[in-house]
Chains A and B, each alone.
Chain A
Amino acid sequence: EADIYQTPRYLVIGTGKKITLECSQTMGHDKMYWYQQDPGMELHLIHYSYGVNSTEKGDLSSESTVSRIRTEHFPLTLESARPSHTSQYLCASSEPRGRGTNEKLFFGSGTQLSVL
């Protein structure tokens, strides 16, 4: 059972607003990820972190930023939202290899973002 939480579940906002999508996990996982998912498309990695104070950009270019000040918390921020940011954002976490779970990836329920 995965314990990874995302808030809000749904967010509708106007163009130009600053938003932060929250993600927390209680499993003590070192690795955390943000994916973007559009209907009928594969998941695209936008940010990842291998531990506290470690963040990297993923394969998909994104105007968002992330921070990792605590192991359990990995928020994603958009400084100025635009309609092109409308998408589902999925947070995930995994344990590093060597701890027995062999990189199983667990997802939160997602945040559906609509920018008007």
Chain B
Amino acid sequence: QKEVEQDPGPLSVPEGAIVSLNCTYSNSAFQYFMWYRQYSRKGPELLMYTYSSGNKEDGRFTAQVDKSSKYISLFIRDSQPSDSATYLCAMGGTTSGTYKYIFGTGTRLKVLA
């Protein structure tokens, strides 16, 4: 079983829609949760970062973490064609004495004009 599960998509939505992207994880050692946006042939860009259960909002983006269910989400409001990209979830924590990051496989999002 993978430590992080993420629906690969692709997900196509009309412009203006609310998008929900999700990841589940199995290791309770993860303490930090991140969402990255990656455009084609570019490096991942850090979008959201949080370390506690609950919601964190930044403009049109809201990150949600539920540590009890081991579930994280990214919501995009009023989606734009420029949001079309692959979104990666990532988690960080100390396991076996080493701090490590684990990434999801990414969800491809296409926002149609």
Contact = CB atoms under 8 A, between A and B. Distances in A.
Interface of A: 2, 6, 40-43, 45, 59, 88, 90, 97, 102-110, 112
Interface of A is mostly: loop
Contacts of B49: 102, 104
B46 interface: yes
A76 to B, nearest CB: 15
Nearest to A104: B49
A45 B99 CA distance: 12
A100 to B, nearest CB: 12
Contact of A40 (B45, B46, B102, B105): B105
B100 A45 contact: yes
A90 B42 CA distance: 9
Among B34, B51, B101, max chain A CB count under 10 A is at: B101
A45 B101 contact: yes
B105 A105 contact: no
Interface residues of B, number: 25
Given A41-B105, A43-B103, A45-B101, A105 B92 contact: yes
17 contacts: A6-B43, A40-B106, A41-B105, A42-B2, A42-B106, A45-B100, A45-B101, A97-B99, A103-B99, A104-B49, A105-B90, A105-B101, A106-B46, A109-B42, A109-B43, A110-B43, A112-B41
A108 B43 contact: yes
Interface string B5-49: 000100000000000000000000000101010000111111001
Contacts of A90: 43-44
Nearest to B36: A107
A107 B100 CA distance: 15
Contacts of B8: 40
Contact of A42 (B32, B45, B99, B103): B103
Among B44, B92, B106, max chain A CB count under 10 A is at: B44
